[in-house]
Structure 1
Amino acid sequence: MKRFLKLGLGLLIASSLFVSCSDDDDNAMPNLSVNNGIVLENSATAAITGSELNVVDTDTDDIDIIYTVTIAPENGFLANTADITTSVANFTQADLTASKIVYVHDGSQTLTDEFSFTVTDGDNVLTGIFNISIGEKQIGYFYVLNEGNSNGSVTMINRNDEVTNNYFSSANSSVALGQYPQSMAINDEYAFIVVTTASGAGYVEVVTASDFVHYATIDGLSYPREIAFANGKAYVSNGNGADANYSKQNNEVYVIDLKTMNKTGQIAVGAGPEKMIVSGDKLYVANSGGWSNDDNTVSVIDVDTDKVVETVTVKSCPKDLVVDANGNVWVYCGGAPDYSNYPNVTYVNAGISKINTSSSAVTSYDLSNLTTTGIKNIAISKDEKTVYFMSDAVYEMNITDTALPTAKFIDATFYGMDVNPVNGNLWLCESTGATTPGKVHVYSPQADKIKDFTVGGAPNSTVFRY
């Protein structure tokens, strides 16, 4: 049983309790001069050196100062670098000084660990506790949203790479999710799935995050697209289906009370609002133009007042957004389609626009050779310093670069793209059609392919849950 309350993420505890069991007058009392603990990332291995744990004894050599583990770590083990697969219960101060002792984390979803020990110089004995802080939690579940055809679905992949297709249906007595689920987001309690129907009666399906069982339905929406959280509220972007003339229609963002799951407000924005993202106290809304493909603005909403405070002009048909390490917003603009040479479709004024959120200044870069489909075409790295985007391939761009890259990062395009926030891997959705199983390809941040999963039809995004 743990002797001390564990502290939160990233906290390093300097010392615990040290008791002398004897004090021989002929043998100087050792001094536990350093007990700083360590910090490491989930599933990592970290050395415990003399800088983290050190006993000073004026008349005993380091090799004769012996540590014994009395209560082992619960979420990993100690090992010698000579064999890091085998647990050790004894080591010396000389081992610590030579960086030979390591802690190996087992990958469990824990923020802290510890071990108790005694240390002796042969006559005198001290006791203590060494504290370990796990820097990041591990992703436990990966949810892939599949648009499908008449009925969409959710694929659940657990941390052991076990795949459950039709996960929503299996958790809800074979009830289907519905037509064209477009996006999904999750908080501590609930998962929210935005479903855009062909009939113009879209809704948000709310399930409990722990078991994916139906909790509520947020309805009264015409063409909902995306959901975001800010300031204790949810926001849903809502548009209109195509009319006979594909005319431009300005639309709205609905404000949702997360306690009642009811709409409590409506904010007028541009046409065809799609992705939304939060930077600071502002919600940025990409106005794609909807079926008219005739908008090139981003609406900026103050989440305290729920009012539009600014409208920023970007490239044509903005659809997807990310926020970088500086809080700036990067906008993926798919361009207005030109069908004059159909079936050869070109996209006019496509590009990447970066909004400086401090000054609202916009820097834009032209995209050419656009061949990707779908709208989820931009993502940000784990450290938020690298932007990934698609055109005729996947590219990576440092946020300090002043021009788009020419070298392809991954020589393929996909239907959706997300980044695992813990390890930085890219999860890339491949659609082979609405009625045939799709795939998710996982790549490392170095563009090495790691694994594939077979999922539902037309997968468009992956949501990560701890």
Structure 2
Amino acid sequence: MNHLYRSLLLLSILSLGVLSSCRDDDPIVPAESEEIANSSQVSGGVVGFYLLNEGNYQANNSSLDYMNLVSGTYTRNIYATVNPNVVKELGDTGNDLQAYGSRLYAVINSSNKVEVLDAQSGKRIGQVNIPNCRYICFDGDNAYVSSYVSTLDTRDAQGQVPSAVYRVNLNTLTITGQVIVGYQPEEMVITGGRLYVANSGGYVKPHYERTISVVDLKSFTEVDKIEVGMNLHRLRMDHNGRLWVTSRGNYGNVPSNLYYIDLDPTTQKVAKLDSLNIPCAEMAFYGDKLYYYSSVWDNEAQKMKTGFGLVDIKAAKPLAESFITDGTDANIQTAYGLAIHPASGDIYIMDAKDFVSSGTLYCYTPDGKLKWQTRRTGMLPAHIAFVKQ
């Protein structure tokens, strides 16, 4: 990642002059760097991470930041600086960010594309055009992208345009197929030759979806559906092979919930499905623990109440009401993203604040004490992808 760091320093010097001339009608906001005390730490080969700032809907202000864990330097808005000739920069509403192989994949929802970057330099390789794309996952030479819209010329019995998962060949960056799933699919997991897709039904409210679509990868067809809970969103698999899925409820009398699913390793059928009856907006794993935060409306206080909890993934039981132990959770205005360093166990929480100001990135030690924070990120920081040397 030294190549990226050197490039950013050079481009930052040039940005006020040469780079702004590349797009006279849409001047580049140059990258800014911040030295952060106590942040330099290389563990498990991880030398840094990218942070995708979602940006405001239809404002075309999604951006990409980079944290260099070798130098302890946080650099904002690197995409525009490293790729000065890309019109409209990163795009509108960044919804997912994943590193796979030597590349970085950014799903830009309202710009209807997946941006493909070199993970070492941050330089753009290409893009895949997918309408209303949401999340991405990988298997071998293929990527799978959930989308609220299928391009197949069909409507269902209710007159609705169906939703789909698109299959993308990573060598050619071309779409090689799509499969119809439930309404408005979100996150996905691949295991046992099958793709599991959490369906939300966000466009057909109040008749939200309640199912996970099960897609056979070989035939690329939906072969089953698992009924779970209302308005599903996050879907992850822990190191024991257990699936965890969040339900957003109906934002009223049906609350958010966290479910887990055990699959029979032979038949891939559901062996057990249960809920913990705790609200969950985002989650991340480290060891045998699931870290999560929740955002619940408090009618009495007339404001959102945020919680930061821990779950024992083996016993499927809550461990603690808060994994932040030093009281600094009171400073977090709007939790908007969560990630855990895969080797050190450091916890990263992204704060979107009031949705109109730059956000903040907080780093906590594994025992829940604030380690460092940025002065500011881009707008609505939401997704982190770790990068190895």
C-alpha contact (below 8 Å) 2:310/2:320 kept by paired residues: no
Change (3 A) 1:249 1:297: farther
Q: Distance in 2 between matches of 1:302 and 1:296?
A: 20
Change (3 A) 1:318 1:248: farther
The percentage of aligned residue pairs carrying the same residue is 27
Q: Distance in 1 between matches of 2:254 and 2:277?
A: 10
The answer to whether 1:429 aligns with 2:341 is no
Q: Which residue of 1 aligns with 2:261?
A: 355
C-alpha contact (below 8 Å) 1:254/1:265 kept by paired residues: yes
Q: Distance in 1 between matches of 2:176 and 2:370?
A: 45
Q: Distance in 1 between matches of 2:354 and 2:173?
A: 33
- Greater RCO structure (CA 8 Å; 6+ sep): 2
Change (3 A) 1:408 1:209: closer
Alignment partner of 1:310: what SS?
strand
The answer to whether 1:285 aligns with 2:197 is yes
Matches within 5 A, 1:446-457: 446-453=367-374, 454-457=376-379
The amino acid of 1:423's aligned partner reads: S
Matches within 5 A, 1:129-148: 137-148=44-55
Offset from partner CA, 1:136-175 (integer Å, 9 cap, x none)? 7321121111011212000111112211111111110164
The answer to whether 1:378 aligns with 2:283 is yes
The partner residue of 2:122 within 187, 212, 217 is 212
Instruction: Give the C-alpha shift of residue 284 in structure 1.
Output: 1.8
Greater alpha carbon shift after TM alignment, 403-412 vs 424-433:
403-412
Q: Which residue of 2 aligns with 1:311?
A: 225
The partner residue of 2:105 within 192, 195, 199 is 192
Instruction: Give the C-alpha shift of residue 430 in structure 1.
Output: 0.4
Q: Distance in 2 between matches of 1:397 and 1:299?
A: 26
Instruction: Give the C-alpha shift of residue 393 in structure 1.
Output: 0.6
Q: Distance in 2 between matches of 1:249 and 1:425?
A: 42
Segments of 5+ residues of structure 1 without an aligned counterpart are: 1-105, 109-135, 242-246, 339-346
Q: Which residue of 1 aligns with 2:80?
A: 169
Segments of 5+ residues of structure 2 without an aligned counterpart are: 1-39, 151-158, 295-305
TM-score computed with the length of structure 1 as normaliser: 0.62
The amino acid of 2:113's aligned partner reads: Y
C-alpha contact (below 8 Å) 2:307/2:321 kept by paired residues: no
The answer to whether 1:327 aligns with 2:327 is no
C-alpha contact (below 8 Å) 2:149/2:164 kept by paired residues: no
Change (3 A) 1:380 1:107: closer
The amino acid of 1:456's aligned partner reads: G
Looking at CA atoms only, which structure, 1 or 2, has the larger radius of gyration? Answer: 1
Instruction: Give the C-alpha shift of residue 335 in structure 1.
Output: 1.1
Q: Which residue of 2 aligns with 1:295?
A: 209
Instruction: Give the C-alpha shift of residue 362 in structure 1.
Output: 1.0
Change (3 A) 1:259 1:442: same
Instruction: Give the C-alpha shift of residue 418 in structure 1.
Output: 1.2
The answer to whether 1:438 aligns with 2:359 is yes
The amino acid of 2:352's aligned partner reads: S
C-alpha contact (below 8 Å) 1:330/1:353 kept by paired residues: yes
The amino acid of 1:286's aligned partner reads: A
Q: Distance in 2 between matches of 1:204 and 1:402?
A: 35
Q: Distance in 1 between matches of 2:68 and 2:120?
A: 13
C-alpha contact (below 8 Å) 2:53/2:381 kept by paired residues: yes
Q: Distance in 2 between matches of 1:190 and 1:154?
A: 14
Instruction: Give the C-alpha shift of residue 240 in structure 1.
Output: 4.4
Instruction: Give the C-alpha shift of residue 435 in structure 1.
Output: 3.9
The amino acid of 2:127's aligned partner reads: T
Q: Distance in 1 between matches of 2:84 and 2:320?
A: 50
TM-score computed with the length of structure 2 as normaliser: 0.74
C-alpha contact (below 8 Å) 1:287/1:319 kept by paired residues: yes
The partner residue of 1:366 within 277, 281, 285 is 277
Q: Which residue of 2 aligns with 1:395?
A: 309
Q: Distance in 1 between matches of 2:225 and 2:357?
A: 40
Change (3 A) 1:318 1:249: farther
C-alpha contact (below 8 Å) 1:234/1:257 kept by paired residues: yes
Q: Distance in 2 between matches of 1:213 and 1:402?
A: 42
| Paired residue total | 309
Q: Distance in 1 between matches of 2:222 and 2:323?
A: 37
Q: Distance in 1 between matches of 2:44 and 2:293?
A: 29
Higher-helix-fraction structure: 2
Q: Distance in 2 between matches of 1:349 and 1:152?
A: 30
The amino acid of 1:165's aligned partner reads: R
The amino acid of 1:283's aligned partner reads: L
Matches within 5 A, 1:70-81: none
Offset from partner CA, 1:317-357 (integer Å, 9 cap, x none)? 1111221121011001111123xxxxxxxx51421110112
C-alpha contact (below 8 Å) 2:213/2:225 kept by paired residues: yes
C-alpha contact (below 8 Å) 1:315/1:364 kept by paired residues: no
Instruction: Give the C-alpha shift of residue 443 in structure 1.
Output: 1.3
Instruction: Give the C-alpha shift of residue 211 in structure 1.
Output: 1.3
Offset from partner CA, 1:419-456 (integer Å, 9 cap, x none)? 11111111111002444211111112211111112211
Change (3 A) 1:208 1:300: same
Q: Distance in 2 between matches of 1:226 and 1:309?
A: 21
Q: Distance in 2 between matches of 1:455 and 1:286?
A: 29
Q: Distance in 1 between matches of 2:278 and 2:160?
A: 24
C-alpha contact (below 8 Å) 1:314/1:364 kept by paired residues: no
Q: Which residue of 1 aligns with 2:27?
A: none
Q: Distance in 1 between matches of 2:179 and 2:100?
A: 23
